[in-house]
Amino acid sequence: MQESNHEPAPEALNRLGHLSSGVGHHVINAFSAIVSNAELLRIKLGKNSHSFDPAVMADMIINTALEAASVARRLIDYTRPITNIGESKVDLDRLVAGYVESRSQVDPSGIAWSTDLTPVPPIRGLPVHLESMLDLLVANSREAMLPGREAAIAFSTSIDSRGWVVLEIRDTGQGMGPQVRERAVEPFFTTKSGHVGVGLSIANGIWRRHRGTLSIHSQAGEGTALRLCVEPCDE
């Protein structure tokens, strides 16, 4: 019997839910900027019109943006049950250790995997979602590797000065320049031909569902470090 190469339906649905949520948030943020600037236009120019009324134009911009943003909000609300992280406690250092052990043994790419995992307080989350996030981040690192250069991915956990849990993923890939780094988590942004550009966006969406923040530290030609921070759950 031939095996299917497609993702299991629940996993594909989860990823679609996280992507929809990420796109929705991105659209809402964009419309918020439009509304803010239109309101400034209305305030500054509303009383100085001659051939046209800029206040009327600003009102049209604001109302259109708010209406479109409400559609994105409904999309987020619709996918919320799919992307709900639940109330389970997850030991992130143990989860990453198990993930690396299982994935590195079957990785055909020849990448060297390493870990430096300090025990950290538990966080709220779903292991299956977190593992899916790690798959996406590792795939992004794997695609960034350069031929003829040592390929390595390193995972570490720690606690920052606020008491938050920190997961860092470092690779020896091609890195990112400032312009790419700034847009890296945007849905559908990619510098690779033939790629859709949703992997990092979905991963970021999953981590946001876990109430975490993701930052990218990278320079072109010097690899990339992803820093994921999240507040631990109450004991």
Pair 98, 130: CB distance under 8 Å: no
Q: What's the chain's length in residues?
A: 235
Distance of CA 220 to the CA centre of its chain: 20
In which band, very low, low, confident or very high, does the pLDDT at 1 lie, cut at 50, 70 and 90? very low
Q: Residues 96-107: what's their mean pLDDT?
A: 92
**pLDDT for res 178:** 87
Name residue, tokens 């390193």.
Answer: 154
**pLDDT for res 5:** 44
Could you read off the pLDDT of 178-196 as tens digits, one per residue? 888 888 777 666 666 655 4
| Amino acid making up residue 137 | L
Measured CA to CA, the distance from residue 15 to residue 133 in angstroms comes to 9
Measured CA to CA, the distance from residue 206 to residue 114 in angstroms comes to 23
Measured CA to CA, the distance from residue 171 to residue 118 in angstroms comes to 19
Around 217, how many Cα atoms within 13 Å sit in the side-chain half-sphere? Answer: 7
23 exposed, middle or buried (CB, 10 Å; 0-12, 13-18, 19+)? buried
Residue 68 has pLDDT above 80, yes or no: no
70 vs 99: which has the higher pLDDT: 99
pTM (predicted TM-score): 0.65
In which band, very low, low, confident or very high, does the pLDDT at 14 lie, cut at 50, 70 and 90? low
Torsion of CA 176, 179, 184, 190, to 10 degrees: -90
Taking Cα atoms as reference points, which of 200, 191, 194, 186 lies closest to residue 220? Answer: 191
108: tokens are 């055909």
All residues at 6 or more sequence positions from 36 whose CB lies less than 8 Å from its CB, including other chains: none
Helices 199-209 & 54-83, crossing angle to 10 degrees? 80
Around 98, how many Cα atoms within 13 Å sit in the side-chain half-sphere? Answer: 10
| Amino acid making up residue 19 | L
Name residue, tokens 């020849």.
Answer: 110
DSSP character at residue 226: E
Question: Phi-psi category of 200—alpha, beta or left, where left has phi over 0 and alpha has psi -120 to 50?
Answer: alpha
